[in-house]
Amino acid sequence: MQQEIRFATFNVCNLAPAGAKLYDNLEPLSPAQYDAKAEWTARQIDLLDADVIGFQEIFSQAALRDVLSRTRHYRAATLAGHDAMDAAGRMLPTVALVSRLPLAGAGVAWTNFPAGVSVSADDTTCRFARAPLHVQVYLPGGQLTDVVVVHLKSRRPDYRHGDGYDAASYALANLRSLQRRGAEAVALRVLASELGHSSRPRIVLGDFNDIANAVTTAIVMGAGAPCEPGMEMRERLYDANAIALRQDAARHAGYTNIHDSAYMTIDHILVSEHFHPASPRAIGVLQEVTYLNDHLLLGLPHASDHGQVLARIKLLGNID
């Protein structure tokens, strides 16, 4: 039986076919630019060499299939995901999952918030901007595991029509973005908690657009939430980087994004207690989390603006 399983998350940065218009302020890729991006993305996927990869900013499943066809190790992998368009027929970003492990089904997009969750009292929006994707994966040995790929609301200020560009307008626009991301975090927490009732292992991974210690990320993890005595570990999700056995502070440079010269880790892999070394119910133990981020300093026009996160899990019975 396979002794190690590897999970990764990869925000590819606007993967779409050549000529596709995505945003008003973004020119479509030329055929040559698309080819360079597809080749770089394929090489990066092979470098990760993960069993399961969650993707963000996929505007076209066909483009992702083309990228996989350029890889060495994922041409036969299974792709789960869907395309989305706005009312004008323009492509919208979605998430996707690629697996070399068998899947129990095609996956389900969580479009709507669970009942009772909304952005604010005066805002009845009850939908994810980018629907999380829930896919059930069979681990080596047959253990069914729930994997959820996410992409929460960005930090980009949410200006409304007629807003000015003074300090107050900017602050309120940032607050609206935070409210949206916070509501999505609450909705994700409720849905992930419902999955936990099955007692199956859970992995939630993707672009959270906030650091691990942020309130929104902590909401998803359930950090500090009240629960029945003895159920603390069962209810929570854990930052894979924080619980990994192999920690090397001297070489650790775990950032996945650079914004205004600030180095931040906003892409995360969260796991249930089934992969925590302190859990008596663990089926595997997180050995190490690594970050593929050298390209962020090179300024490659065809590369992603995010680093990738890779978690290595040793299945129990085969721990070093």
Structure token digits, residue 198? 């099955």
The angle that helices 31-48 and 61-69 make with each other, rounded to 10 degrees, is 60
Structure token digits, residue 130? 């980018």
Quick: pLDDT tens for 281-296: 999 999 999 999 999 8
The string of DSSP codes covering 167-208 is HHHHHHHHHHHHHHHHHHHHHHHHHHHHHHTTT--EEEEEE-
Q: What is the pTM of this model?
A: 0.93
Contacts of 121 (CB under 8 A, 6+ apart): none
Residue 83 burial (10 A CB sphere; 0-12, 13-18, 19+)? middle
* CA nearest neighbour of 282 among 241, 250, 246, 238: 238
Contacts of 134 (CB under 8 A, 6+ apart): 107, 108, 109, 110, 146, 147, 148, 191, 195
Quick: pLDDT tens for 75-120: 999 999 999 999 888 999 999 999 999 999 989 999 999 988 887 6
Strand partners, 61: none
Handedness of CA 8, 12, 16, 21 (dihedral sign): positive
CA–chain centroid gap for 210, Å, is 12
Question: Poorest-confidence range of 8-12, 117-121, 131-135?
Answer: 117-121
Average pLDDT score over residue span 15-42: 95
Quick: pLDDT tens for 168-194: 888 888 888 888 899 999 999 999 999
